[in-house]
Structure 1
Amino acid sequence: MKLFSLCAALAVCLSSVAVAELPAPLVDNYYNIGKIHQQVSTDNREAQLWFDRGLAMCYGFNHEEAIRCFDKAVALDPQLAIAYAMKAYAMGPNFNNMEITRDTMLAADSVSKTSLEHLEQASPLERMVIEAIDKRSGESVPEDFDQRGPFNQAYADAMAKAYAEHGDSPFVAELYAESLMNLQPWKHWSVDGKPGEQTPTIVEVIERGLAAQPNHAGLCHMYVHVMEASPTPGKALPAANRLRTAVPGSGHLVHMPTHIDVLVGDYASVVKSNSEAIEVDKVFLDREGPLNFFSLYRLHNYHFLVYGAMFDGQSQQALAAARAINQQVPEEMLKEQVDFLDAFMPTTFHVMVRFGRWDDILNEPTPPEYLPMSRAVRLYARTLAYAATERVEQAEAEQQKFLEAVKLVPESSLLFQNTSLDILGIAEAMVAGEIAYRKGEYDQAFAHLREAVRRDDALNYDEPWGWMQPARHALGALLLEQGHYAESEAVYREDLARHPKNPWALHGLVESLVKQGKEREAAQYVDDLEASCQRADVTINRSCYCRLKVLDE
């Protein structure tokens, strides 16, 4: 294959993903919950409806809305014990938010005790669930979140008994699986692919439930979460696909399939489904406003959309979604929850680095002082911008400012499952490598960039990944520029194993093979490369815009 053939393979389509028409997010002036239904012990049809709505909100992790639904259910039927219990459940911990205040846990316990007062009205299945939920809290619940293990374990043990008696109920199966997931939140698989202590049971319970009721939204949701960090995330793709339209009024459930899409290299679906989820959640935003915990899930949709669009070469989509993140959170909330929200705010800088918008980076304003992570990321991006435009002295000066800014980022600052400091550790190695490279210190530069890759790989599992542009893309690009074709080939193969079908690494792999005279092997990837570039609005002619000499030249 001639070198110019590779260039032809890089031709890109300037279109973006069109968002399909959304299913109606509202039905009967309420969020469309699809076919979610769990028959409970009431003759009041309205109470049953509000229970089902509350359950749907629980499955979609909108627990505040679920509480309102269960309140309406018990207002219509004050004897409905399971509705009190599920309200207590919604007030308690879940693996995305285990740090529930003691006051809230005590309030949940009070509601749970009310459910026990009406136990005689409950079915045998409901009684076992009610009694299990009551194990999660009590007067002795400690203030320290790390000391609550016995309560979470007691709940899981009680749900195990409920499952032993009522394992054919998907309602019970979902609660049991989730109770086990709370014992090891976001640690269902090790980095080397070994299952966590509870993982085999979780998978068995969910798969048994899905075999009987494959469209159950709660089980599909949990299956995506338990399988996404596994060596075989694609096993959850059928469940993810069924979930896409199962609950049209739950933005989080519309979004959830993209946790699998991104792992199998379907970046178009990542963009599409998160765009749809954003539209669905605008209905909730219009009704309830932004001052609620669910705003974190809304931000997650935008963040995930950015991540997918960056991989897909859709610079305009990525930049628009990144800009929108900053518009979703009122300043009041941002200041109150700065440890949890700060790391979202500089997403625009990651997009600009991805697409080599060096001048735009230098023109971006400084974030306010109460956002230390945002300020540090800005300085990281500015350092790269100066380095990539061969202004080494300015890059070194900016690097020193960056290192000082990192010292101001508290250990409590997080981006989901990773600390901001761990994420900035990758940035630190990246800027050191880029500056050394511009100074002609190539061995030192590559050592720094390999360290950036090591730190990138060492992050806790998360989706989107904590570092938004794989460090291998910079390492591979600069190895190619210096003629280290065999090593760059290995780097790109490793990246494609982690991020399948991404055009940046595919381009680098094809070029690495061609440079080594492996045209026949390179030809095997050209169709994949062309397909992966179809939605890009930029020419993908290198895996990182830090590389200055490109193939076209």
Structure 2
Amino acid sequence: MPRFSSLTGTAVVALSSALTMPTSPAAQGVDLPTSCATEADAAVDRGLTLLHNMMYIEAEAAFGSAAKADPDCAMAQWGIAMANFHPLWPGTPTEAETARGKDAAGRLATMTPGSDLEQALVDAAAAFYAPDHDGYPARLAAWADAQQTAHERNPDNIDAAALAALARLATAPGGVERFEVNARVGDALDALHEDAPEHPGVIHYAIHAYDNPPLKERGLPYAEIYDKAAPEAAHALHMPAHIYTRTGDWAKSIDLNRRSAEAALDTSGDVIQSHYAHAVDYMVYGHLQMGQAEEAARLVEEMLAIDNHQASFGGAYALAASPVRLLLEQENWAEAAALSPDMHSAIPWENFPQTVAMRWFAKGLGAARTDDVETARLAVEKLGSLRDAMREGGQDYWARLTEGQILTVEAWVELAEGNDEAALTKQRAAADLEDEAGKSPVTPGHVLPARELLGDMLSALGRPDEALEAYRATLALSPNRARSLAKLE
């Protein structure tokens, strides 16, 4: 195990003691020095607080208020530009978000920032919207480099430091190297927290840094305080659940996501913010792990009944994943095979092929496990087309996961046709691929882990010892998963 894999129990307690509990509403925001008029300066602080909490719609509105209060306030336009891309969120900004961000960047180009700090932050936002980038990853990398420079030029500014940490997380490589980067970023955020214990961005980004199996214990102290740092922000209420999902503390995850979903509904306008659906997906997952399938089904029914969901990746993922989880976690294979290809009307599904893939994966797996080989093969064909679309769109992570889904469905087709060794070879390959790719923060867990399915297959083939090993390996990455625990009994 790498040296950064975890803290000892004593170290976790020590870190918990070092992390300070937010104390007052006034201390829950930020104070960015600007050259803007007083009213605009206060609005910029509100906007930046919301930006750190990834409440991007509200953040853009606050920065818009700053611009109205002081048309010459460069940091208002900086904030609008920043609110229209989301560095850690999967997917890319919508066309409307990109247009608004570019408009703000264009206005910034005609303005004169009032300090070296303002200029450095403006340069970072402008780097994202520069016209010479080839695709979103290049834009993100350009922003990250410039954001790091802004911190180097202003080493004593907490917001520049926090955004630099976010930039490093957003551009970290995959695999084991990502854990190494996250551990170093976590070290920096721990130090920042000592100086600014109530800064929402520091707490938030630390949870993201530690949202992985090797580092999850380091995230627990931050998970205990973030909801108190931003008690009305839907995303802040949700974020500690990332750590509690990693540790298998379903009751805490459910409670936080219930509060998050309620806050998202309370603050939504003409459309229901994707924070709501995102929280529901985490709740559904938690209830299923606690054996509360009826409550999970009720939540899914309520979510699907809403017709004005925000058309974003986070909402699309939840609307696709939750109904599938209900069936697969309960081994309702026939119902999974019978799923309609038609999905919720609020989402332009052609923009999110990786979410559509979950529906076809469920259909294919359900069909293969009920010996409907023809439907399973159709699902493999559909998954292949979706995977190719992801590759063309530069969504390599999701394309790899979809390749694992294809291997899984093919494996169970092989088993249905009596090709036992070929089935095991494909299912092992799927499990290795999925474990290597890891879990995206957008999801509490894969809709059904490939290694857990390997355990199912080994058990079906009369190889119980190997099956138990697969279930234990699943639990090592996803503690307290109900299906794997039940298989060990």
What range is the shorter-chain TM-score in?
Answer: 0.7 to 0.9
Partner residue in 1 for 2:122: 133
Structure 2 counterpart of 1:116, from 109, 112, 115: 112
Query: Residue 289 in 1 paired to residue 289 in 2?
Result: no
Q: Which amino acid aligns with 1:130?
A: Q
Query: How do 1:406-445 residues align onto structure 2 when only pairs under 5 Å count?
Result: 406-409=383-386, 411-413=388-390, 421-445=399-423
Q: Which amino acid aligns with 2:28?
A: K
Q: How much does 1:274 deviate? A: 1.5
Partner residue in 1 for 2:66: 73
CA distance in 1, matches of 2:118, 2:36: 20
Contact 1:476 1:488 in 2 (8 A): yes
Moved more, 132-141 or 344-353: 132-141
Structure 2 counterpart of 1:89, from 74, 82, 87: 82
Q: What secondary structure is seen at the aligned counterpart in 1 of 2:386? A: coil
Partner residue in 2 for 1:142: 132
CA distance in 2, matches of 1:38, 1:171: 9
* 1:419-459 deviation digits (Å, cap 9, x = unpaired): 65433433333333334444554434333322331232133
Query: Residue 300 in 1 paired to residue 290 in 2?
Result: no
CA distance in 2, matches of 1:470, 1:98: 22
* 1:178-211 deviation digits (Å, cap 9, x = unpaired): 23334x15x3x63376523xx5653333111111
Query: How do 1:488-503 residues align onto structure 2 when only pairs under 5 Å count?
Result: 488-503=467-482
CA distance in 1, matches of 2:197, 2:394: 29
Contact 1:91 1:105 in 2 (8 A): yes
| Aligned length, in residue pairs | 452
Q: Given the superposition, is the C-alpha separation of residues 423 and 223 from structure 1 closer, same or farther in structure 2, using an over 3 Å criterion?
A: same
Contact 1:46 1:76 in 2 (8 A): yes
Partner residue in 2 for 1:504: 483
Moved more, 148-157 or 219-228: 148-157
Q: What secondary structure is seen at the aligned counterpart in 1 of 2:224? A: helix
* 1:196-255 deviation digits (Å, cap 9, x = unpaired): 3xx565333311111122232110111111221362221011112100232122111111
Q: Which amino acid aligns with 1:489?
A: L
Query: How do 1:178-327 residues align onto structure 2 when only pairs under 5 Å count?
Result: 178-182=166-170, 184=171, 187=173, 190-191=175-176, 194-196=179-181, 199=182, 202-229=185-212, 231-285=214-268, 287-290=269-272, 295-327=273-305
Q: What secondary structure is seen at the aligned counterpart in 2 of 1:71? A: helix
Partner residue in 1 for 2:362: 381
Query: Residue 486 in 1 paired to residue 475 in 2?
Result: no
In the alignment, structure 2 segments of 5+ residues that lack a partner are 1-24
Partner residue in 2 for 1:446: 424
Give me the identity figure in percent.
19
Q: Which amino acid aligns with 1:109?
A: A
* 1:497-540 deviation digits (Å, cap 9, x = unpaired): 1012333323333x4xxxxxxxxxxxxxxxxxxxxxxxxxxxxx
Q: Which amino acid aligns with 1:341?
A: A
Q: Given the superposition, is the C-alpha separation of residues 263 and 281 from structure 1 closer, same or farther in structure 2, using an over 3 Å criterion?
A: same
Using structure 2 for the length normalisation, give the TM-score: 0.78
Question: Larger relative contact order (C-alpha < 8 A, sep ≥ 6)?
Answer: 1
Superposed CA RMSD in Å reads: 3.8
In the alignment, structure 1 segments of 5+ residues that lack a partner are 1-31, 512-553
Q: Which amino acid aligns with 1:133?
A: V
Q: Which amino acid aligns with 1:289?
A: V
Contact 1:429 1:448 in 2 (8 A): yes
CA distance in 2, matches of 1:299, 1:407: 27
Contact 2:39 2:69 in 1 (8 A): yes
**Counting helix residues as a fraction of each chain, which structure ranks higher?**
2
CA distance in 1, matches of 2:47, 2:303: 28
CA distance in 2, matches of 1:305, 1:441: 38
Partner residue in 2 for 1:543: none
Moved more, 134-143 or 448-457: 134-143
Q: How much does 1:322 deviate? A: 3.6
Q: How much does 1:302 deviate? A: 2.5
* 1:144-187 deviation digits (Å, cap 9, x = unpaired): 235447742552343233442x1xx43232123223334x15x3
